[in-house]
Structure 1
Amino acid sequence: MKLGLQVVAFNWPGSPANTGRTLANIAHTADAAGFASLWVMDHYFQIDPGIGPASDPMLEAYTALSFMAGATERIRLGAMVTGVVYRQPAFLVKQVSTLDVLSGGRANLGIGASWYEREAVGLGFPFPPIAERFERLEETLQIARQLWSGDATPFTGKHYQLAEPINSPQPLSQPHPPILIGGGGEKKTLRLVAQYGNACNLFAFAGLDQVKHKLDVLKGHCDDVGRDYAEIERTALGVVMLGPGGMTPADLIGFCHGLASIGIQQFIFSIPNVYEITPLEIIGREVIEAVAAL
């Protein structure tokens, strides 16, 4: 099993004056510790309710990822996950392609149908009904695959029309940056994973039985569309708090054992006190190698 780190908040002591320095330190330490991937949320407001009030600091995802690319050498980088309504598809593909080229081939495209209506309305982004958001998500996935294939013939969809879908330079990742589709919706989201995705992302806190059920649904969709289920990386998302009142390294290893036993291959998590750096160093010393063989 691999471990990934998600940075979800930027309101640590001393911010915003030390935001860049602290974020670079987090990224560098996670890279050196052996984390497989590094993610930020694609939001403009902080999640409320959830992590903090909407007015808490939030960085634009692809600017932050590009910044972290310069502080790292090996770790993969992505947004967990981009809301499909926040960018035109070709612009999003260009952003991910640029990140991939500048990072030496380490970008992922994390994407979903969007859910944070307050944020969209607050900042004037379109927020159509959910059925349309899924239509836009599928067209965006089609556009990404076409642009990354080098096929410059016009794209004509219900919601998007591209007269010249040219993408240069193309990503270094081959055949293209891995596409992670976030969410566990059984009728639409997991079908899109089976049809277009390289990875799924499910909520670890839903419990092992529920995560296993979602994986079984995904496998059924793979069977329906003729996709090899083994081609799709199965990831889960959660929160880990090390220290008093939280988890020990042994607890985290045990939790990873449970996820691995039902087929999860990468556990991606946020750490509330990540800015202290020490939790990353502990996980690097005591956990990453211990779960690598799972």
Structure 2
Amino acid sequence: MSLPVLFGANVDPVWADPGQALRVTRHVERAGLDLVTVQDHPYQAAFYDAWTLISYLAGATRSVAFVPTVANLPLRPPAVLAKSAASLDVLTGGRVQLGLGAGAFWDAIEAMGGPRREAKEAVAALDEALDVVRLMWSGKRSVRFSGAHYSLAGIHPGPAPSADLGIWLGAYGPRMLTLTGRKADGWMPSYGFLGLDRLADAVARIDAGARDAGRDPAALRKVYNLNGLISPVESDEPFQGTVRQWVDRLVSLARDYGMNGFVYWPDADHLRQLTLFALEVVPAARAALAADKG
């Protein structure tokens, strides 16, 4: 199974200019990109709540999909998070995916009332959360789960989401990568945290986890968050050069690493950069990918 390559843009959830997020999102949708990602840092004073903002943006758009990058599990109980995602999936006609992370910035999480977890504990909690979310999406009359971190005691789940609603993990460490392959529907690493020098090993670990679980690695959505700048001047730095350099890099990432989604986070000049990405990089990359596949 081979998934189509998706292209998207990050929209910052800042509220200093209340209309900025909607303006950028509408711009992205008109330009024909597939998805919008929104950071989830509830403790960040400068940010809107991510799920509230995504719901607002989804109601003001028609075609673009939305993904939190990534929902902060320690501050969002998985059963409630599952219901939120399923509800938005139904309300938008399938224009949402559940990006989910084990947590980071533990001082801030703890300051907001969340638990502080060590690395091994955070992975174990995420593992349990995946089971809880799946049960809440199961359509069964009643579900139960008993874990060290989460439990369900005969809850009646609903609404049942579409079959396309998946869980995309923000994963970097070995245990998290293996868990992604075993249980998740997708993966959302960021170039700033996982450079090209580490990408092949991370993909291999995910693919091995999938195969060990009897799953097809090619069926997993693998979305690379890319920060950089599109420039008229060539550069030796990844994601800092010309349209042609960007296209060549994206084709290589798809062909050589199996990445099948790219989300642009411009370093500056956001609207202009997103326009260049959507109207120049993406069409050329789609054509090159089609030719490469042929």
Regarding TM over 0.5, the answer is yes
Q: 2:247 corresponds to which letter in structure 1?
A: I
Equivalent residue in structure 1 for 2:65, among 55, 76, 79: 76
Q: Show the counterpart of 2:263.
A: 268
The alignment status of 1:210 with 2:207, answered yes or no, reads no
C-alpha distance in structure 2 between counterparts of 1:185 and 1:153, whole Å? 31
Equivalent residue in structure 2 for 1:277, among 271, 276, 279: 271
The alignment status of 1:43 with 2:32, answered yes or no, reads no
Q: Note the C-alpha offset of 1:244.
A: 7.5
Equivalent residue in structure 2 for 1:233, among 207, 215, 221: 221
Q: Show the counterpart of 1:242.
A: 230
Equivalent residue in structure 2 for 1:199, among 186, 201, 204: 186
The count of aligned residue pairs is 275
Taking the TM superposition and a 5 Å limit, the aligned residue runs for 1:174-185 are 174=163, 176-185=164-173
Taking the TM superposition and a 5 Å limit, the aligned residue runs for 1:117-196 are 117-151=106-140, 152-171=142-161, 173-174=162-163, 176-186=164-174, 188-196=175-183
The alignment status of 1:87 with 2:76, answered yes or no, reads yes
Would the aligned equivalents of 2:136 and 2:158 in 1 still touch at CA under 8 Å?
A: no
Q: Note the C-alpha offset of 1:83.
A: 1.9
Q: Show the counterpart of 1:5.
A: 9
C-alpha distance in structure 2 between counterparts of 1:153 and 1:167, whole Å? 7
C-alpha distance in structure 2 between counterparts of 1:45 and 1:253, whole Å? 36
Would the aligned equivalents of 2:38 and 2:50 in 1 still touch at CA under 8 Å?
A: yes
Q: Show the counterpart of 1:256.
A: 250
Name the Cα RMSD after superposition. 2.1
Paired residue secondary structure (2:137): helix
Q: Note the C-alpha offset of 1:243.
A: 4.7
Q: Note the C-alpha offset of 1:86.
A: 0.8
Q: 1:104–1:273: structure 2 CA closer, same or farther, 3 Å change rule?
A: farther
Unaligned 5+ segments in structure 1 are 47-54
Q: 2:58 corresponds to which letter in structure 1?
A: A
Equivalent residue in structure 1 for 2:285, among 273, 276, 291: 291
Q: Note the C-alpha offset of 1:250.
A: 2.7
Equivalent residue in structure 2 for 1:29, among 20, 27, 30: 27
Per-residue deviation, residues 121-143 of structure 1 (Å, max 9, x unmatched): 22222122222222211111001
Greater relative contact order (CA < 8 Å, ≥ 6 in sequence): 1
> TM-score, structure 2 length as denominator?
0.86
Would the aligned equivalents of 1:44 and 1:119 in 2 still touch at CA under 8 Å?
A: no
Per-residue deviation, residues 232-272 of structure 1 (Å, max 9, x unmatched): 11221221323588543333223212312321111123124
C-alpha distance in structure 2 between counterparts of 1:110 and 1:93, whole Å? 11
C-alpha distance in structure 2 between counterparts of 1:117 and 1:158, whole Å? 20
Would the aligned equivalents of 2:103 and 2:122 in 1 still touch at CA under 8 Å?
A: yes
Would the aligned equivalents of 2:230 and 2:277 in 1 still touch at CA under 8 Å?
A: no
Q: Note the C-alpha offset of 1:201.
A: 2.1
Shift >6 Å, 4+ stretches: none
Q: 1:88 corresponds to which letter in structure 2?
A: P
Q: 1:74 corresponds to which letter in structure 2?
A: S
Q: Note the C-alpha offset of 1:71.
A: 2.4
Q: 2:189 corresponds to which letter in structure 1?
A: L
Unaligned 5+ segments in structure 2 are 234-239, 290-294
Per-residue deviation, residues 14-62 of structure 1 (Å, max 9, x unmatched): x62x32x22111111111212221111110244xxxxxxxx5x111110
Paired residue secondary structure (1:259): helix
C-alpha distance in structure 2 between counterparts of 1:251 and 1:217, whole Å? 28
Q: Note the C-alpha offset of 1:183.
A: 1.4
Q: Note the C-alpha offset of 1:84.
A: 1.4
Q: 2:20 corresponds to which letter in structure 1?
A: T
Would the aligned equivalents of 2:230 and 2:276 in 1 still touch at CA under 8 Å?
A: no
Bigger shift: residues 255-264 or 71-80: 255-264
